[in-house]
Structure 1
């Protein structure tokens, strides 16, 4: 199956989110291993951990927002007919798009002020703003993917239909 450029972009964002999960897991594993086996620690381990976790959260928002894998309440949706379900989906996605867009603007302000204030890590005195910038890029990706999801919900809902094989495995 040939993927169009947007589907490759979506897959790339999901891969990036998965890579950040791996980076956070390796950071935690190595930190614990060094601490308990060698009584040593990675300089700025705490700072790296919290900054990487922030990155992971924002890239995770991007990955789950497009697929609709976030927490939902389906009580009203389950009782609605097909047109009602689609209307609820479009409305909910538009609200999500608005909220994440505002969040992205606020996070950009945080990147800007963190850079202007020269906030550094404790041990190595590395600037923290690049971590915030990578998190912001994840939030920008979320806005793009939510906009694509909204477009597809309205004009091409068949492109969002779950894969029958994946559905059978649930």
Structure 2
């Protein structure tokens, strides 16, 4: 199947989210090993961990927003007919788009505020705003992916269904 630009962008964003999971895990692993066996620590390990976790959360939102892999309560959706299911999906995704778009605007304000205030880490005095900016880009990615999902739900729902049909094996 030929991959279009949207699918490549979706996969790239998901890979970036996965890379951030690895970076957070590596940071924690190295910090624990250094503390346990060498009685030392990474300077600003706590600040890095905290900021990397924030980055991970926003990129995770981006990754789960398109696929719909987040936890949902869909009791009404389960009992609905296909037409009503599509209406519920479009409405829910539109609300999610609005909420994440507002969150993105507010997070940009936080990035700008940390830049203007020259907020730095405790030990090495590294500026904090680039970490916040990477988290913001993850949030922007979430808005883009939710927009793509909304577009596909409205105009090409079959594109989403192909990706999310459960794979039942008949034996």
* TM-score, normalised by the number of residues in structure 1: 0.96
> Which ranges of 4 or more aligned residues in structure 1 deviate by more than 2 Å?
162-169
Q: Once the 2 structures are TM-superposed, how far is the Cα of residue 2 of structure 1 from its aligned partner? A: 2.1
Q: Once the 2 structures are TM-superposed, how far is the Cα of residue 38 of structure 1 from its aligned partner? A: 0.5
Task: State the match for 1:130 in structure 2.
Answer: 130
Gaps of 5+ in 2: none
**Of 109-118 and 155-164, the range deviating more from structure 2:** 155-164
RMSD: 1.4
Q: Once the 2 structures are TM-superposed, how far is the Cα of residue 161 of structure 1 from its aligned partner? A: 1.2
Task: State the match for 2:22 in structure 1.
Answer: 22
**In the aligned structure 2, how far is the partner of 1:21 from the partner of 1:88?**
31
Task: State the match for 1:60 in structure 2.
Answer: 60
For the residue of structure 1 that corresponds to 2:167, the secondary structure is: helix
Q: Taking structure 1 as reference, are residues 24 and 164 closer, same or farther at Cα in structure 2, changes over 3 Å only?
A: closer
- Written as runs of structure 1 = structure 2, the 5 A alignment for 1:32-51 is 32-51=32-51
For the residue of structure 1 that corresponds to 2:7, the secondary structure is: helix
Tell me, yes or no, if structure 1 residue 92 matches structure 2 residue 74: no
**In the aligned structure 1, how far is the partner of 2:162 from the partner of 2:2?**
17
For the residue of structure 2 that corresponds to 1:73, the secondary structure is: coil
Task: State the match for 1:112 in structure 2.
Answer: 112
Q: Once the 2 structures are TM-superposed, how far is the Cα of residue 125 of structure 1 from its aligned partner? A: 0.2
